């Protein structure tokens, strides 16, 4: 009779890694869970490297590296757009404050006119 491969649930793996992080020795935990120590080391490494994507299980695929890079680029573009729009909003608010105080807004013509008057 052949040996069948054991399947562990995500919760089981996360619980094992949590116990390792609490300081339980690898050899002791491996004996208690009836797994090899290198399996525990691999689970810990996968948990650290794949934060929200660790232990995907059957039917759930890991995020492809290209998708992650694409999403990071999208976040970067959106951050630039937010900064640009925040600067625009700040300028509009400054112009409204100047108008409320009764001070004239400086346009290209008004600046040129002031230079001629000073000379």
What's the rounded Cα separation, in Å, for the pair 83 and 89? Answer: 10
In the predicted model, what is the mean pLDDT of residues 91-112?
76
Cut 0.85: pTM above it: no
In the predicted model, what is the mean pLDDT of residues 41-64?
73
Q: What is the pLDDT of residue 68?
A: 82
Residue 13 scores a pLDDT above 80: yes
What's the rounded Cα separation, in Å, for the pair 95 and 19? Answer: 60
Question: Cα–Cα–Cα angle for 24, 27, 31, nearest 5°?
Answer: 100
Both tokens of 34, joined, read: 């009836």
Compute CA distances 15 → 24, 41, 63, 114, whole Å.
12, 13, 23, 74
Compute CA distances 76 → 15, 35, 70, whole Å.
35, 43, 10
What's the rounded Cα separation, in Å, for the pair 57 and 41? Answer: 18
Q: What is the pLDDT of residue 94?
A: 92
């Amino acid at each position: 009779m052949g040996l069948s491969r054991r399947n562990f649930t995500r919760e089981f793996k996360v619980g094992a890694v949590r116990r390792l992080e609490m300081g339980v020795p690898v050899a002791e935990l491996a004996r208690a869970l009836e797994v090899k120590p290198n399996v525990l080391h691999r689970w810990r490494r996968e948990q650290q490297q794949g934060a929200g994507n660790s232990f995907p299980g059957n039917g759930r695929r890991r995020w492809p590296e290209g998708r992650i890079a694409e999403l990071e680029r999208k976040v970067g573009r959106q951050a630039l757009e937010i900064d640009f729009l925040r600067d625009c909003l700040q300028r509009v608010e400054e112009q409204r404050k100047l108008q409320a105080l009764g001070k004239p807004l400086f346009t290209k013509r008004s600046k040129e006119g002031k230079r001629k008057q000073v000379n």
